Every structure is written in structure tokens, then in C-alpha cells.
């Protein structure tokens, strides 16, 4: 195909239909173009709308070039041009599952507008009523084969793009989860009832508008909004669970999955806090003393995002559910609901993480996340819970020190920890671990 030089300033493209620019790829192309020129011309239509070569075009723009070599293809309409652009993306780009599903669906819609997409009951050469068709219609199997995918793989990726709410898709785009088909399907399949109800309300809305029944249209519009918001809420919970599980897997620090107090001996040199003292570690508060006492409770924030505790023979920590939106209680074995049914904390559900059980308590209704796998050790569980129930800068309460898992995870993830323990050895162990990692000194303060 002959190429022609075109003013680089005359070339336009629709950014809404394109993947985000990858700067590293643009920089590689810049170096190549400097040394060898543009070896592969970009492709535009007769109106100089870009069909293929956004990274090459961007590299040339950044180099300050005035002209760029182009292949010019003539299309009858915008739909034909967009189909060519989509096909070029499939050929040249390493698409993730979400992007590919979006392109498959857009391609279907364009083919339907052009009358080239087979529907249920059609075959390639005739419609359901026997009408002959030329050129042959495109079936799902045809479209999958054209791009080298199985029909099932194509259908699953279309399901991902169709069933994940638009706002949730925006949160996923460009993240590692966009390449994880299993997790994407979990999100897509969450809220199927809410999705169906939203679709039914949308159809009723369209019928009401067609019949000019404005009162009914207003009612159905509200129903659409209600069910779409509920769908987004449920899918967001599933997404957060998937992110938390991924982060827990990649956590580099793991401890033994046990809840007993540390057995390592804390030397006299490490002993920096005594019973009854309170310290500040950076943004964190550490208390040495009875964490069920009013003295500790008075130091806690009123609306922490999360409290994490472990079962003890004498449980006096029901106050946690009034101090934090979510309370997670970890135990080594047994049914946590039976154990806590007498404790007057509103039980929501139980998670099984590794070989530990985590009871979730809250005054609010808390959706149960997808069950994660391959989470081992208390620190990985704490990492998972913080990703699931907190955001950066949130407060986390912990009425036990353990091996310092909660304190260290809060430090690493940018949360503020209010932590305490009745045993000075455990408190000093956690402080020493924090000091070794952060390299800062604690500040002792008087308790009023």
C-alpha cells in the first residue's frame, strides 16, 4: 500500500475508544524513530481519523515532527472505519480481558447496525424466516475464530464487559486485576438479581416514555437508579475482596499462623515501656495495660474503620463494636458464632482464612466477600482485612500486640493504629520491631 506524508497536526482520533497511552512504549518508539525513522507508517481514513498507530503518532509528536507517513484507507462510513480500528487493536495490542471484552461487544453492536451480525435463529446464509443473505452473517464462532479465540473464551470476556458496572470497570482498568479472568468473572457474576431488576426497570422506563406516561417513567427511572447503585455496591465489595486477596498473597512479611503470645525473650535493653505507660510511635498510639479499661477506651477514636482482636479466656471487649465500623475477631478453631452468641456483638458472618477463623461483627450490614485462597499467617490475614475494610489514613484498633502484626501492617499501609496489651513484654516486642523497620524513636507521654 503506497504511503503519503501528512501534516501531523491534521490527524485526529477519538480518545474514548482507545486504550491509555503507555509512556514506556512511546519512549522506546522515540529512540527507534530517531535512529531509523518511522519504519511502520500509521493508518488513517480519508478524513485523517487515526485507525492504527496511536503510540507511533504520539512518539512523532513528542519528537516535534511536522509530518508523518500514513496509509490512507477509504471507508464508506464511520462504522466501517471503527471496525477496522478495532481489528487493528486486536492484531497489534496486548489487550487484557476487560479491554478485549469491551472491543468484542462494540464490534457486535457495529455489525448489528450494519446488518452483518447473526442473531438467534439465523445461520450464515439465511435469516430465521428463510430470507437469503449476502454477504453471509457473522456468527459468534466466526468472530472468535477470526481473532484466534475459542468461542467460550470470547463469550466469557463479553460477559465481563457486559455485566461489570461501568463505574467498577473504571476502577479495574489498568490494574493487575484487569488481566485476571477468574477475578473479573467473580465481579461480573456478583449482583445478578440486582442487574436483572435494573434491566427490567429500564425496559419499563422505555415503554413508559414511548407511551408518554411521564409519571410511570419517573417511577421506573428511580428504580433503575436504585438497582444500579445496589449492583455497584455489591460488585465493589467483591472487587475490594479480590484486591485484598492479591495484596495478601504478595505480602513479603509472613508470620507463623498462631495466636499465642510471643515466646521470644525480650531483653532488658529492649524493654522500653512499662505497665501503665503510653507511647507514640510516629502516627500510632501504643498502650501498655488492660485494654478493656476505661483508661484505654478513652484514648480511642470514636469511629475507627476497623478493630482486630483475638479470643481470650476472659473477653471484655464488646465495646469495640461501638468504636469501630467493623470488628474482626480471630481464633484458631471452632465456630466463632457459637462462641460469641453470648457476647451481644452483632454477628455478620465468618471467614475462613488459611487455618484461622475470623468473625465479622458490626452494627451495619456487611456483605460477605468472596472466599480468598492461599492466605497464610496472621500478618497476611491482617493485610487482607485492612485492604477489605479500610482506606489509607483510616484508624485501626487492636487490643492485643501479638507479634506486632497489626502495628507493622498499619505502618506499611498508611493506617493509624491504636494498639495495646496488658503484657509489657509483648508491647516492647512490637515497639522494637517497629523501631527496627522504621528507624524512629518512640515518644512516651503521661496518661491523664
Other C-beta atoms lying within 10 Å of the C-beta of residue 51: 24
| Whether residue 136 is found in the same domain as residue 172 | no
Determine, yes or no, domain membership for 432. Answer: yes
| Whether residue 131 is found in the same domain as residue 170 | no
CA dihedral 115, 118, 121, 124 (to 10 degrees): 110
C-alpha cell at 329: 475477631
| Whether residue 103 is found in the same domain as residue 243 | no
Per DSSP bridges, beta strands 284-288 and 416-421 are parallel
CA distance 375 to 355: 9
Domain boundary among 108, 140, 172: 140
**45: three-class secondary structure by DSSP:** strand
| Whether residue 111 is found in the same domain as residue 69 | yes
Domain boundary among 250, 265, 293: 250
| Whether residue 242 is found in the same domain as residue 286 | no
| DSSP letters spanning 99-125 | HHHHHHHHHHHHHHHTT-B--TT--SS
| Spans in the chain with pLDDT lower than 50 | 124-128, 132, 134, 252-271, 445-448
Q: Looking at residue 94, what is its pLDDT?
A: 65
| Whether residue 219 is found in the same domain as residue 317 | no
CA dihedral 62, 65, 71, 74 (to 10 degrees): 90
8-state DSSP, 176: G
Instruction: Select from 332, 268, 308, 316 the least CA-distant residue to 395.
Output: 308
Determine, yes or no, domain membership for 409. Answer: yes
CA distance 434 to 263: 18
Q: Quote the domain boundaries for residue 429.
A: 278-445
Determine, yes or no, domain membership for 148. Answer: no
pTM over 0.85: no
CA distance 275 to 288: 5
| Whether residue 344 is found in the same domain as residue 203 | no
Q: Looking at residue 164, what is its pLDDT?
A: 94
pLDDT digits (tens, 9 = 90+) for 248-293: 666 544 444 444 444 444 443 344 556 667 888 888 999 999 999 9
Q: Looking at residue 200, what is its pLDDT?
A: 94
CA distance 29 to 166: 32
Domain boundary among 231, 250, 269: 250
Determine, yes or no, domain membership for 356. Answer: yes
Determine, yes or no, domain membership for 397. Answer: yes
Yes or no: say if 328 and 308 are a contact pair by the CB < 8 Å rule: yes
**Which CATH number does the domain housing residue 374 bear?**
3.40.50.150
| Whether residue 102 is found in the same domain as residue 185 | no
| Whether residue 194 is found in the same domain as residue 288 | no
Contacts of 159 (CB under 8 A, 6+ apart): 101, 185, 188
| Whether residue 299 is found in the same domain as residue 430 | yes
Determine, yes or no, domain membership for 268. Answer: no
pLDDT digits (tens, 9 = 90+) for 385-416: 999 999 888 999 999 998 899 999 999 888 99
CA distance 321 to 286: 20
Q: Looking at residue 325, what is its pLDDT?
A: 95
| Whether residue 246 is found in the same domain as residue 323 | no
| Whether residue 223 is found in the same domain as residue 285 | no
Q: Looking at residue 3, what is its pLDDT?
A: 81
**Which CATH number does the domain housing residue 20 bear?**
3.90.1530.10
Instruction: Select from 203, 199, 268 the least CA-distant residue to 231.
Output: 199
Yes or no: say if 265 and 429 are a contact pair by the CB < 8 Å rule: no
Q: Looking at residue 445, what is its pLDDT?
A: 45
Domain count of the fold of the chain: 3
Determine, yes or no, domain membership for 326. Answer: yes
The position carrying cell 476472659 is: 314
Yes or no: say if 361 and 326 are a contact pair by the CB < 8 Å rule: yes
Q: What is the 3-state secondary structure (H, E, C) of 360-411?
A: EECCCCCCCCCCCCCCCCHHHHHHHHHHHHCCCCCEEEECCCCCCHHHHHHH
Determine, yes or no, domain membership for 145. Answer: no
| CA end-to-end distance (rounded Å), the chain | 83
Amino acid at each position: 500500500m503506497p504511503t503519503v506524508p501528512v501534516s501531523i497536526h491534521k490527524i485526529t482520533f477519538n480518545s474514548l475508544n482507545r486504550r491509555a497511552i503507555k509512556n514506556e512504549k512511546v519512549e522506546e518508539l522515540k529512540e527507534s524513530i530517531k535512529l531509523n525513522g518511522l519504519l511502520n507508517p500509521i493508518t488513517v481514513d480519508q478524513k485523517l481519523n487515526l485507525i492504527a498507530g496511536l503510540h507511533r503518532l504520539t512518539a512523532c509528536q513528542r519528537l516535534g515532527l511536522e509530518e508523518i507517513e500514513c496509509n490512507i484507507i477509504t471507508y464508506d462510513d464511520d462504522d466501517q472505519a471503527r471496525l477496522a480500528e478495532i481489528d487493528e487493536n486486536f492484531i497489534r495490542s496486548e489487550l487484557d480481558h476487560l479491554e478485549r471484552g469491551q472491543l468484542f461487544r462494540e464490534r457486535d453492536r457495529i455489525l448489528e447496525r450494519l446488518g452483518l451480525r447473526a442473531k438467534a435463529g439465523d445461520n450464515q446464509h439465511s435469516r430465521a424466516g428463510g430470507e437469503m443473505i449476502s454477504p453471509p452473517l457473522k456468527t459468534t464462532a466466526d468472530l472468535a475464530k477470526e481473532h484466534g479465540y475459542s468461542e467460550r473464551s470470547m463469550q466469557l470476556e463479553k460477559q465481563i464487559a457486559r455485566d461489570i458496572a461501568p463505574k467498577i470497570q473504571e476502577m479495574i482498568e489498568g490494574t493487575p486485576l484487569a488481566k485476571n479472568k477468574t477475578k473479573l468473572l467473580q465481579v461480573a457474576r456478583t449482583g445478578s438479581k440486582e442487574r436483572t431488576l435494573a434491566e427490567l426497570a429500564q425496559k419499563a422506563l422505555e415503554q413508559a416514555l414511548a407511551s408518554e406516561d411521564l409519571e410511570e417513567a419517573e417511577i421506573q427511572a428511580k428504580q433503575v437508579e436504585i438497582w444500579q447503585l445496589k449492583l455497584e455496591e455489591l460488585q465493589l465489595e467483591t472487587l475490594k475482596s479480590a484486591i485484598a486477596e492479591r495484596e495478601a498473597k504478595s505480602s513479603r512479611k509472613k508470620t507463623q499462623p498462631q495466636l499465642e503470645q510471643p515466646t521470644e525473650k525480650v531483653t532488658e535493653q529492649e524493654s522500653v515501656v512499662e505497665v501503665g505507660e503510653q507511647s507514640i510511635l510516629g502516627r500510632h498510639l501504643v498502650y501498655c495495660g488492660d485494654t478493656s479499661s476505661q483508661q484505654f477506651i478513652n484514648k480511642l477514636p470514636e469511629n475507627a474503620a476497623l478493630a482486630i482482636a483475638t479470643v481470650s479466656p476472659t473477653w471484655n471487649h464488646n465495646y469495640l463494636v461501638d468504636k469501630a465500623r467493623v470488628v474482626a475477631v480471630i481464633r484458631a478453631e471452632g465456630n466463632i458464632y457459637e462462641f460469641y452468641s453470648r457476647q451481644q456483638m452483632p454477628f455478620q458472618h465468618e471467614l475462613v482464612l488459611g487455618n484461622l477463623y475470623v468473625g465479622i461483627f458490626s452494627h451495619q450490614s456487611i456483605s460477605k466477600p468472596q472466599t480468598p485462597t492461599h492466605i497464610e499467617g496472621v500478618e497476611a490475614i491482617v493485610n487482607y482485612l485492612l485492604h477489605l475494610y479500610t482506606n489509607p489514613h483510616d484508624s485501626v484498633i487492636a487490643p492485643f500486640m501479638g507479634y506486632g502484626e497489626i502495628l507493622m501492617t498499619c505502618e506499611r499501609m498508611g493506617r493509624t493504629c491504636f494498639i495495646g496489651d496488658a503484657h509489657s513484654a509483648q508491647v516492647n516486642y512490637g515497639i522494637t520491631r517497629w523501631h527496627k523497620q522504621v528507624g524512629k524513636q518512640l515518644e512516651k507521654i503521661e496518661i491523664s
